[in-house]
Structure 1
Amino acid sequence: MYKSLVSVAVAASITVPTAFAAQEGENLERIQVVGSRIALRTATDSPTPVDIITAEQLEATGITETAKALQFAAPSYSFPFSSITDGSDAVRPASLRGMSPDHTLVLVNGKRRHGSALVHLSGTVGKGSSNVDLNAIPMTAIKRIEILRDGASALYGSDAIAGVINVVLKDSDEGGSISTQIGQTYEGDGEQVRVGVNQGFSISDDGFVNVSLEAHQKNATNRAGLDSRQQYPTLDDGSLDPREETFDRQNHHVGDSDYDNYGLFANAEQAISDTSKVYAFGGISKRNSTSGAFYRRAIDSRNIIEVYPDGYLPQISPEIIDFSLLLGYDFEIGKWTIDASAGFGSNSFEYNVENTINASLGPTSPTDFYAGTLSNSELNLTLDASTYYDFYNDSELMVATGVTFRESGYEIEAGQEESYIQGDYEGKAGGSQGFGGFTEESEVNEDRTNVGLYIELENQLTNEFYWAAAVRYEDYSDFGSNTSWKLSGRYDLTDKLAFRITTDTGFRAPSVQQLYFTNVSTFFDPDPVTGEFVPRESGTFNQLSPIKEALGIPDLKAEISHSYSAGLVYNGDNGFTATLDAYQIDVDDRIILSGSVDQESSAVIAAALAGTNAESARFFMNAVDTQTQGVDLVMTQQFDLGQYGDVSTNLAYSYKETDIKSVNLPSILNGLESELFDRIEEIRMTEATSKHSGNIGFTHQYDDFTTNLRFSYFGKYTVGYSASEVEYDAKWTTDLSTRYQATDALAVTLGVQNLFDTYPEKRPEDNNFNGIFVYPLTNTPFGFNGGYYYLDLRYTY
């Protein structure tokens, strides 16, 4: 009598929603959500906490970037702002449940997506990690996003320690939409235009192709303060140059970078028979971005005054190309449903540096440089099988098993020679200023493979009790193997109240970026006396480097996690629902990018660095054990206002806190522990993300008008500076929009983000770099652009 809800879904993929007849004859939609192979009516039916965010909810935020819109729709997901952080200005790190960006697995249509080639090297949250670039997926192509807030390595493999984000692509076989948004900040900058086109095509009675095209252009914002420093050389008589009076002292760029982003995505499926189908999806995107580095004054030793008599602002202008394609075949053999798929994805990050110079080459130096390219690729082959067996108490046991093969590759291509060489002009600094090029010694072209085997069981034993179990074995070519498992259960205490609980182990293999990234580049440290930023050549040395071997840095190994979660689900009368979930995630051997150890601090280090251009060295290493605890609360309520329409309300709150249990550093560097992992890095891991965040939203529908009002809360957070640590106050932001359905096809939306022009707390006056950095450069949870207003036109047919 306790039959499964629908026929088995294929492996871990997301099935196309199907209609079913409810007991009262209503047509409702069952959806296959990430984390379970049994189709559900709503997310609250899930045995684990899942957020389902529809395309309409993403669009209602008025935000034009997928990752940023997700932050305002799901408080457990954070997308902090950063500026003057090299490549991270173009691909910002994001995280789930306050953990590292690479602790979240991203799927598209239930299939693993490749990561960005970029490694976050500057002072952002998730320093030393790489993450999936969600902004490479056009919002126009998205049907919904599912966020599994639970560990799932036993289901999906590496990276799923904090949870899983699954992007489901649009799949309609007819009709489409054309949308345009224009807007700008209250300050009059940050102008942007986004145009999206979606079209569904029926290619047969049982087949479709859905295509989405998006173009997005955004101008930069700038909230830099005025540079009070002397800019020009003192005159022979000791007086200041008259140009000091007319110089534009907003010489830095602190804010959003400008960019042009173009994306094309397609999703397709064709039935071969009643029991088989082929499917395919993928896309390509290209982004060109420009952001500023530190300004070089006319009197700066890194300037050639004949080339830049007024100084210059180096600009980092990467070109990012992202490609993905997956093909699959779904069929039945006897009682078994088989899913075979092959997917390939790649991401390239080409560094270009403009409006700069290699001062060591003198006045003849180029002023634009190609500084090198990072490339990441991933090939995934999967074969999954699932079926149902009769089980105890007239229920059915879902059994799924499968094998996966993945090959991951990483490549660094050197820049042009002038971008990194040290010339002999007047002893000036070498390399392109703003971002030094990758040298020939930095070039790598490496790959690794892994094979995974899993088995999963799910059973709705009674109307009240559900349980699931999974175990997965993975073997990697470079560090060994791992076995992870998961147990979960749900019990309906009443028709309205249910209890759910999960425990699991997980792992994250060191990424190919962490294994093979290497570079010697210029970093700026503040002088302890003057406060001026002093350039130093710092080397990041990979697992193949003889420097690593000489200093006895251990080989990287997998991070290991053990998670627990328990929650309550309430489905009340009159449209009220609530979920409350508490969790704890213990992670051992977390990988960090260490601080730099200086050649002057140790003879061993000096000897190891001899013959390189580096003055200091840093490494990726398993060094920290952490514990993350948190609570997620989600509540929704519907109100019928009769002749005044209806109102939907929702409240979402997230608490997350990470503590460091132990720090384990190599003994060969005794006495340098504070340099390898200092207080700044500790703050970045434990206090840089707001512990408390949430939002309250209201959607009022009346005739042809839909009004959205959202209050978002971002709790206190801390930024570590070289001389101090500063805790920044909690802030609320308010978003308001009204949509008018002018015709059946045409909708017009007017909206404001950050209605009351809220900014984060300013940096202390003794820590704002001569007044230039008004706000924290990193980790501000909602940025410092202030208010933004926009107009959105959408034509649906």
Structure 2
Amino acid sequence: MRLSVISLAVASQLVLPAVYAADNNSNIEKISVVGSRLAVRSATDTAVPVDIISAEQLEATGMTETAKALQFAAPSYSFPSSSVTDGTDAVRPASLRGLSPDHTLVLVNGKRYHGSALVHLNGTAGRGSSSVDLNTIPMSAIKRIEILRDGASAQYGSDAIAGVINIVLKDASEGAEISLQGGQTYAGDGEQWRAGLNKGIKFSENGHVDISLEAHHKNPTNRAGLDQRQQYPSLADNSPDPREATFDRKNHQIGDGKYENLALFFNGAQYFGDDKLYFFGGISHRENESGAFYRRALDARNILDIYPDGFLPKLAPKIKDYSATVGYAFSVGEWKLDAAAGFGRNDFEYYVKNSLNASYGPDSQTSFYDGTLTTEETNLTLDASRYLPFYNDSELLLALGVAYRNNTYQIEAGEAASYANGGYDNRSAGSQGFTGFTPASEVDESRHNTGLYAEVENQLTRDFYWAAAVRYEDYSDFGSNTTWKLAGRYDLTDKLAFRATANTGFRAPSVQQLYFTNISTLFVSDPDTGELVPTESGTFNSLSPVAQALGVSELKPEKSTSFSGGLVYTGDNGMTITLDAYQIDIDDRIILSSSLTPSDSAAVAAALSGTNAESARFFINGVDTRTKGVDLVVSQNFELGSYGDLAASMVYAYNKNEIRNIHLPSLLDGLEDQLFDHVEQVRMTDSSPQNKGSLNLTHHYGDFKTNLRFNFFGDYKVGLSTGADLDYGAKTTTDLSVAYTATDNLTLTVGAQNLFDVYPDRAKTEPTDQSFGGIFKYPVGNTPFGMNGGYYYLQARYTF
């Protein structure tokens, strides 16, 4: 038996004519690009778990950010919130199946998408990773998102250990849509608006382009507690300064930062009979502003002549993102071919406002340029696929391909005043809030790799489907790697099917992890008191003299082995149930170590003696982990007669991470507790909820559509340097929206996210004070659903 076919040139590539054909074929309900080359009627027909999330479902969340909307639409996708975490406030990490953010490969229209230049360094989920910034892709441009929840390195290459996210862009040839949204939190802050325009243009008889333009503005939120500490130096007689009585003690800014984003995306094609020239890409420019730690008037890092009452440094990075892909899909005999070239660039420019360099004294400037991180990625692919006669009158789909990728990474130093020591009164050097990159931190490095793959798929009988893939990758910096995958599905009955996969995977160290280096001020927990204290911490790459002196070897790939098995039930009454269990073992997992100080060993003291750093941390292949989990998806549609219709869906994801082994450089034997301490171990295993779920109800009645969603986030932990854990309880939030179709063209929506104003548990004060004297009301490094409370909004959508 032969199914309708999506012609793909490579497993990592989408040949766009197939999608075009599918959209005009009433026999196919949905098309899954990731995970299979065969066209499927719905996500439940695949041999691997795939979620297909439409633009309508994303819009129904009421979220204005792509990454945040995805969190509430997908069962095993997490997008935790953080605050006072430097650049991570602007580019927050997301994860799939509880793994690191860089274990998920992101595609756009089936093509590999470039990552962010930022490295997450502070105490957040995904610490030590550098991930794709999904918010560079505006929601106005998205047609649907497909999530493959299964290891797929053999099909797609590096990074696809946890799975693959494929963002399919809108591809209309005519018509337009304007969307407007505005809202604010119940607390009266966080006001935001988003305006989007999508327009399809037919520029020739057989050519079109879809253009999306989006602007987004968001004011900050602030959930800081009052700072009860002494603010001013005591008077000569040791009495308190009178200004203590009138000082505004809400001096920190803890919450979402200020956000300005403008993005333009395009997606088009020119057909030449059955062949097609396609092109897509976009530009995104974002400016963010968030608070660091407040410097009190009595703080030695302050200059009273500039800030007599103290000051709050503001990090104000500018993020510029560019991408473009062009390809040609054509046929030669029985072969379907695709040749494509893609380029992506991300610039993360660091700026600090309302700051100073204390070592310059009263002459210090108050705004600084701290340097730029830049990453570029170029992809060239040539791929082919065809059908061959096979056993039992079936056909075998054979796909072959070659891919070349080049990655570069640059660090540009900031202006001298952002890092230099001006010599004033033995004060600390560098811009407060974020110390600029020094010339010693500058890098301009690159690496390339070539990949070869082969894949076969076969619908052997009406009931049995199988697939196999193998991929060979050769990297310029650490050698080669080979991965494989097997997948199968057997329909036990017309309603019940069993599916399973086994695969090996790998993730090459990112160029950010290979080459990032910097010395900056971090706040770390004192092991005796739990109080956060500043320290000059150096992050050294494996090529640095410090790392080499300590025997830290160059990074090598992470390697994984994954197994999954699941059941798919499709009832006559429209009910569908998928239940999938999985296990993922990862060896040589790359981590950013905890900080080592000279007091830890003589070797550390000697290695740091020639630097300005008080501590050192490294990227190392430090741990082996095992991840187990279960994903459950249930959906059912109900016809309610004169009362309309109801679509119900329930998703649940369970995920558990374990550390199986910790292995460290030989010169650091005996420092396991310092190099990968309890704080970092808990962050890897228990900082995200093991249980997550949602229940979504969508009711259509006449011109009204009501969406009600309950979101469950399980309990989680925060580790302390004392070896204790702080437990934070499970929470359920509720989202409600009502849309009214006023005319054939105009839809108006009113809604509330977190309807009942639920907040995370307060930051714990036992056994030690992690609330920084009550300033941190909630855990700032990781809250599963944020700390903003309720949010209400109005939305209008006009199509023409």
TM range (shorter): over 0.9
Query: Take 2:630 and 2:673, find their aligned partners in 1: how far apart are those partners?
Result: 32
Query: Take 1:537 and 1:779, find their aligned partners in 2: how far apart are those partners?
Result: 23
What is the RMSD of the two structures over their aligned residues, measured on CA atoms?
Answer: 1.2
Query: Take 2:407 and 2:528, find their aligned partners in 1: how far apart are those partners?
Result: 46
Matched, 1:575 2:574: yes
Query: Take 1:210 and 1:483, find their aligned partners in 2: how far apart are those partners?
Result: 38
Partner secondary structure for residue 56 of structure 2: helix
What letter corresponds to residue 614 of structure 1 in structure 2? Answer: A
Query: Take 2:279 and 2:24, find their aligned partners in 1: how far apart are those partners?
Result: 30
1:414-457 residue CA offsets vs partner (Å, 9 max, x unmatched)? 00011111221111111111100000000000000000000000
Specify the alignment match of 2:799 in structure 1. 796
Matched, 1:777 2:783: no
Q: CA shift at 1:21, angstroms?
A: 9.8
Say if 1:197 and 1:214, in contact at 8 Å, map to a contact too. yes
Q: CA shift at 1:529, angstroms?
A: 5.7
1:112-151 correspondence runs (5 A): 112-151=112-151
Specify the alignment match of 1:46 in structure 2. 46
Specify the alignment match of 1:59 in structure 2. 59
Report runs of 4+ in structure 1 exceeding 6 Å deviation: none
Partner secondary structure for residue 483 of structure 2: strand
Partner secondary structure for residue 760 of structure 1: coil
Question: 1:623 and 1:20, CA in 2 relative to 1: closer, same or farther beyond 3 A?
Answer: closer
Query: Take 1:777 and 1:532, find their aligned partners in 2: how far apart are those partners?
Result: 15
Comparing 541-550 with 470-479, greater Cα deviation is found at 541-550
Query: Take 1:537 and 1:252, find their aligned partners in 2: how far apart are those partners?
Result: 21
Say if 1:284 and 1:322, in contact at 8 Å, map to a contact too. yes
Say if 1:381 and 1:406, in contact at 8 Å, map to a contact too. yes
Specify the alignment match of 1:72 in structure 2. 72
Say if 1:371 and 1:416, in contact at 8 Å, map to a contact too. yes
Comparing 349-358 with 667-676, greater Cα deviation is found at 667-676
Matched, 1:18 2:18: no
Q: CA shift at 1:205, angstroms?
A: 2.8
What letter corresponds to residue 442 of structure 1 in structure 2? Answer: S
Matched, 1:711 2:714: no
Q: CA shift at 1:544, angstroms?
A: 2.2
1:383-402 correspondence runs (5 A): 383-402=382-401
Query: Take 2:23 and 2:518, find their aligned partners in 1: how far apart are those partners?
Result: 57
Query: Take 1:136 and 1:308, find their aligned partners in 2: how far apart are those partners?
Result: 36
What letter corresponds to residue 425 of structure 1 in structure 2? Answer: Y
Question: 1:606 and 1:504, CA in 2 relative to 1: closer, same or farther beyond 3 A?
Answer: same
Q: CA shift at 1:533, angstroms?
A: 3.2
Say if 2:8 and 2:384, in contact at 8 Å, map to a contact too. no
Which residue of 768, 771, 777 maps to 1:768?
A: 771
Specify the alignment match of 2:499 in structure 1. 500
The answer for unaligned runs of 5 or more in structure 1 is none
Query: Take 1:492 and 1:21, find their aligned partners in 2: how far apart are those partners?
Result: 28
Specify the alignment match of 1:482 in structure 2. 481
Specify the alignment match of 2:415 in structure 1. 416
Specify the alignment match of 1:104 in structure 2. 104
Query: Take 1:505 and 1:373, find their aligned partners in 2: how far apart are those partners?
Result: 36
1:305-341 residue CA offsets vs partner (Å, 9 max, x unmatched)? 0100000001100000010000101111111011000
1:613-628 correspondence runs (5 A): 613-628=612-627
Question: 1:346 and 1:373, CA in 2 relative to 1: closer, same or farther beyond 3 A?
Answer: same
Comparing 194-203 with 607-616, greater Cα deviation is found at 607-616
Specify the alignment match of 1:204 in structure 2. 204
1:656-675 residue CA offsets vs partner (Å, 9 max, x unmatched)? 00101000111101222211
Partner secondary structure for residue 613 of structure 1: coil
Say if 1:17 and 1:29, in contact at 8 Å, map to a contact too. no
Query: Take 1:334 and 1:19, find their aligned partners in 2: how far apart are those partners?
Result: 22
Q: CA shift at 1:471, angstroms?
A: 0.1
Say if 2:531 and 2:770, in contact at 8 Å, map to a contact too. no
What letter corresponds to residue 451 of structure 2 in structure 1? Answer: G
Matched, 1:554 2:553: yes
Specify the alignment match of 1:349 in structure 2. 348
Query: Take 2:528 and 2:333, find their aligned partners in 1: how far apart are those partners?
Result: 77
Specify the alignment match of 1:155 in structure 2. 155
Q: CA shift at 1:236, angstroms?
A: 1.7
Matched, 1:727 2:730: no
Question: 1:438 and 1:792, CA in 2 relative to 1: closer, same or farther beyond 3 A?
Answer: same
Query: Take 2:531 and 2:549, find their aligned partners in 1: how far apart are those partners?
Result: 33
Matched, 1:179 2:145: no
Say if 1:18 and 1:31, in contact at 8 Å, map to a contact too. no
Query: Take 2:426 and 2:22, find their aligned partners in 1: how far apart are those partners?
Result: 74
Specify the alignment match of 1:600 in structure 2. 599
Query: Take 1:559 and 1:122, find their aligned partners in 2: how far apart are those partners?
Result: 22
Partner secondary structure for residue 782 of structure 2: strand
What letter corresponds to residue 691 of structure 1 in structure 2? Answer: Q
What letter corresponds to residue 768 of structure 1 in structure 2? Answer: S
Say if 1:9 and 1:39, in contact at 8 Å, map to a contact too. no
Question: 1:646 and 1:456, CA in 2 relative to 1: closer, same or farther beyond 3 A?
Answer: same
Q: CA shift at 1:115, angstroms?
A: 0.3
Partner secondary structure for residue 599 of structure 2: helix
Query: Take 1:687 and 1:19, find their aligned partners in 2: how far apart are those partners?
Result: 42
Question: 1:295 and 1:19, CA in 2 relative to 1: closer, same or farther beyond 3 A?
Answer: closer
Q: CA shift at 1:151, angstroms?
A: 0.3
Q: CA shift at 1:610, angstroms?
A: 2.1
Say if 1:20 and 1:27, in contact at 8 Å, map to a contact too. no
Specify the alignment match of 1:641 in structure 2. 640
Q: CA shift at 1:532, angstroms?
A: 4.5
Partner secondary structure for residue 711 of structure 2: strand
> Normalization by structure 1: what TM-score?
0.98
Q: CA shift at 1:531, angstroms?
A: 5.2
Q: CA shift at 1:602, angstroms?
A: 2.1
Specify the alignment match of 2:95 in structure 1. 95
1:359-438 correspondence runs (5 A): 359-438=358-437
Q: CA shift at 1:281, angstroms?
A: 0.3
Q: CA shift at 1:763, angstroms?
A: 1.2
Query: Take 1:603 and 1:44, find their aligned partners in 2: how far apart are those partners?
Result: 59
Q: How many residues align?
A: 792
Query: Take 2:725 and 2:33, find their aligned partners in 1: how far apart are those partners?
Result: 42
What letter corresponds to residue 319 of structure 2 in structure 1? Answer: I
Partner secondary structure for residue 467 of structure 1: strand
Comparing 540-549 with 657-666, greater Cα deviation is found at 540-549
What letter corresponds to residue 284 of structure 1 in structure 2? Answer: I
Query: Take 2:168 and 2:648, find their aligned partners in 1: how far apart are those partners?
Result: 25
Specify the alignment match of 1:253 in structure 2. 253
Query: Take 1:352 and 1:535, find their aligned partners in 2: how far apart are those partners?
Result: 20
Say if 1:293 and 1:313, in contact at 8 Å, map to a contact too. yes
Specify the alignment match of 1:269 in structure 2. 269
Query: Take 1:696 and 1:563, find their aligned partners in 2: how far apart are those partners?
Result: 29
Query: Take 1:313 and 1:263, find their aligned partners in 2: how far apart are those partners?
Result: 30
Say if 1:152 and 1:160, in contact at 8 Å, map to a contact too. yes
Query: Take 2:292 and 2:6, find their aligned partners in 1: how far apart are those partners?
Result: 56
Question: 1:273 and 1:466, CA in 2 relative to 1: closer, same or farther beyond 3 A?
Answer: same
What letter corresponds to residue 466 of structure 2 in structure 1? Answer: W
Q: CA shift at 1:550, angstroms?
A: 1.2
Comparing 79-88 with 546-555, greater Cα deviation is found at 546-555
What letter corresponds to residue 257 of structure 2 in structure 1? Answer: S
Specify the alignment match of 2:680 in structure 1. 681
Question: 1:20 and 1:163, CA in 2 relative to 1: closer, same or farther beyond 3 A?
Answer: closer
Matched, 1:469 2:468: yes
Specify the alignment match of 1:459 in structure 2. 458
Query: Take 1:237 and 1:537, find their aligned partners in 2: how far apart are those partners?
Result: 34
What letter corresponds to residue 584 of structure 1 in structure 2? Answer: Q
Specify the alignment match of 1:190 in structure 2. 190
Partner secondary structure for residue 196 of structure 1: strand
What letter corresponds to residue 317 of structure 1 in structure 2? Answer: A
Question: 1:33 and 1:310, CA in 2 relative to 1: closer, same or farther beyond 3 A?
Answer: same
- Aligned-residue sequence identity (percent) comes to 65
Partner secondary structure for residue 120 of structure 2: coil
What letter corresponds to residue 565 of structure 1 in structure 2? Answer: S
Q: CA shift at 1:70, angstroms?
A: 0.3
